[in-house]
């Protein structure tokens, strides 16, 4: 348990059985009436963002979220198996928890796995990943200046939009947050 005075960005609260991360907070002391804390909270599982106001000094339940660097080992049916790089303990994370991160993960990819009481909450990848384009239509000579794009399939099976001049078997840098093309990678 903590009070509203202990709130910081990144604190995880347990409200009505759900976990919420504090994105923003502001202590407000109006001229009359009691002080309060205005917060913006993000649901850890759904990503939904809400505004919530607490009276100052109110006791709130905090949740202990353990974030660890882990390595993705392999897919086991619908689940993903990760290994703690320090202790070599393995954890199985359901596909629903991994979410869109699965589009950018190859075996041995490092990721941050957040857990609460042993239950995986979410998987956070580095901001960008380098992946191989396994298939895209051949580019046409002279198509470099139009700024057009075409679909390209990555080695994970995910499809992104790339410039027309890009060819198959090219390594590209991809933004893991929105799947956008960031550039070619030369070995």
**Percent of the chain whose pLDDT exceeds 90:** 32
Which residues touch 110 (CB under 8 Å, ≥6 apart)?
Answer: 69, 70, 71, 72, 85, 126
**pLDDT tens profile 55-105:** 988 898 988 888 899 999 999 999 999 999 889 999 999 888 888 889 999
- pTM higher than 0.75: no
Q: What residues does 149 pair with on adjacent strands? A: 163
The count of residues in the chain is 187
- C-alpha to C-alpha distance for 160 and 100, rounded to whole angstroms: 13
Rg (CA), the chain: 22
Question: Taking residues 142-148, what's their average pLDDT?
Answer: 62
In this prediction, residue 142 carries a pLDDT of 59
Q: How confident is the model at residue 141 (pLDDT cuts 50, 70, 90)?
A: low
- Check pLDDT > 70 for residue 108: yes
In this prediction, residue 81 carries a pLDDT of 94
Domains, the chain:
2-60 (2.30.30.30), 66-124 (2.40.50.140), 128-184 (2.40.50.140)
- C-alpha to C-alpha distance for 2 and 12, rounded to whole angstroms: 11
- Check pLDDT > 60 for residue 49: yes
- C-alpha to C-alpha distance for 15 and 43, rounded to whole angstroms: 10
In this prediction, residue 23 carries a pLDDT of 86
- Check pLDDT > 60 for residue 145: no
């Amino acid at each position: 348990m903590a009070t509203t005075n202990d709130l910081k960005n990144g604190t995880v609260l347990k409200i009505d059985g759900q976990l919420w991360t504090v994105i923003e907070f502001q202590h407000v002391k109006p001229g009359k009436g009691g002080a309060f804390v205005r917060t913006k909270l993000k649901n850890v599982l759904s990503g939904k963002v809400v505004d919530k106001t607490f009276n100052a000094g109110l006791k709130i339940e905090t949740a202990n979220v353990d974030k660890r660097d882990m390595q993705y080992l392999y897919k086991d049916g619908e689940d993903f198996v990760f290994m703690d790089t320090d202790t070599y303990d393995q954890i199985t994370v359901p596909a629903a928890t991994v979410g869109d991160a699965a589009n950018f993960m190859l075996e041995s990819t490092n990721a941050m796995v957040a857990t609460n009481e042993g239950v995986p909450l979410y998987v956070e990848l580095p901001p960008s990943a380098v992946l191989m384009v396994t298939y895209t239509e051949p580019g046409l000579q002279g198509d470099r200046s139009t700024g057009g794009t075409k679909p390209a399939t990555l080695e994970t099976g995910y499809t992104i939009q790339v410039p027309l001049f890009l060819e198959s078997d090219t390594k590209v840098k991809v933004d893991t947050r929105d799947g956008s093309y960031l550039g070619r990678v030369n070995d």
